[in-house]
Chains A and B, each alone.
Chain A
């Protein structure tokens, strides 16, 4: 008879939980991808489906949260196991928020309706692809507890910021040249902002991966440093 490891139950439960996090992550990636495409195509019925679909992402979040709490209560995990379960709570919450951003983009699409889109919309799908790719690799690093990958992924946030700045300036030009564009430009600015926030939350996921592996809580979000870089304090 094969010997039974005392950790068998915990190990299996953790593997199952990580698989659920990946499922939630796939839901979020699909929602983001479909949301920017529905916007680009002005496909209002598709946008409504994405909007309603956010409930399933939230539901998955609650299921994962409940399972983590059950495991903490029944298995009394310690050290790295405990850090991993705490990180899963954080990551599932981050994913839930990213789902909200996809939902927000879908709502904007419905609101824009059939009105003509301004040209900067063309950059939005490419910006979304960078975010989705970052998220994809962050979740892979999470499952593999790959701290090196987690440390390098946030650097790509610069690309997302570049997209955002470029879209921002282009939309400003539209607003200045013709104030009747302000509403339409604003809608697209929100979309770009939502995507920019997705990348920030991917950075939070990466911070958690480093925490799981090393126990060290690392601040990787450099947004504040960039904003205040020229300030004397």
Chain B
């Protein structure tokens, strides 16, 4: 069977131990093989929502998460992301994440890419090399680094480091890629390369992106969700959201009237 939604969240509520709610009753579906963008002013719950999807909130001071968050596989089966007994490492292999600042490991470019695979038990050199070339190509970095895979990753430019982080996530062949402002520190050319690679990647992956600007949201979004103060205000196809938003708060935000 073919699935339409990769992730289904219903009535998701996340409350910190001091009683503040970061997510208030979020119900939204993430369609498979597309880019879903979550945008809105700071403190709206965008990153929190992303972190729920691969359980990074386990590390934060979170008291309660309630509601439903299901991750579907191609077969139509799903796992409950919020299940306390879930193997979180296995979840994070299926749902990869890239952060705003590139976090490269103090190793060579090659080792940055093979690190996760080796932990996962892959030893065969041909398989490792195949994963390196594939993931670097997918992140639009292969041509720039193919002749210096053993150089320290720290020597790459900021834009290259961020694409290396994307490649590192892709090396593990996740099903979903979560990106939290992945181009916020990059120049326009590097940003363009990352955005272009996302358009290619969505053919094989499901992408959830928190963009660093409304303009990036508009460029990248197949679907766009506007988050404000923990609430999902509006969720619509990108080509409708940025020309004819239906909710006044959304229009005011994307027209720059607040935020």
Contact = CB atoms under 8 A, between A and B. Distances in A.
Nearest to A216: B244
Nearest to B258: A6
A6 B254 CA distance: 12
B19 to A, nearest CB: 32
B256 A6 contact: yes
Interface residues of B, number: 13
A10 B251 contact: no
Interface in B86-136: none
B255 A215 contact: no
Contact of A80 (B214, B215, B218, B255): B255
A82 B245 CA distance: 12
A7 interface: yes
Contacts of A193: none
Contacts of B218: 78
Contact of A10 (B243, B250, B256): B256
Contacts, number: 31
B257 A7 contact: yes
B255 A7 contact: yes
A79 interface: yes
Nearest to A211: B244
B243 A81 contact: no
B257 A79 contact: no
Interface in B207-222: 214-215, 218
Given A7-B255, A10-B256, A79 B243 contact: yes
A79 B217 CA distance: 13
A82 B256 CA distance: 12
B243 to A, nearest CB: 6
Contacts of A7: 255-257
B215 A82 contact: no
Contacts of A82: 242-243
Interface string B229-259: 0000000000000111100001100111100
A215 B256 contact: no
Contacts of B245: 79
Interface in A166-211: none
Interface of A: 6-7, 10, 76-83, 215
Given A78-B256, A79-B245, A79-B255, 8 more contacts: A78-B254, A79-B242, A79-B250, A79-B254, A80-B255, A82-B243, A83-B244, A215-B243
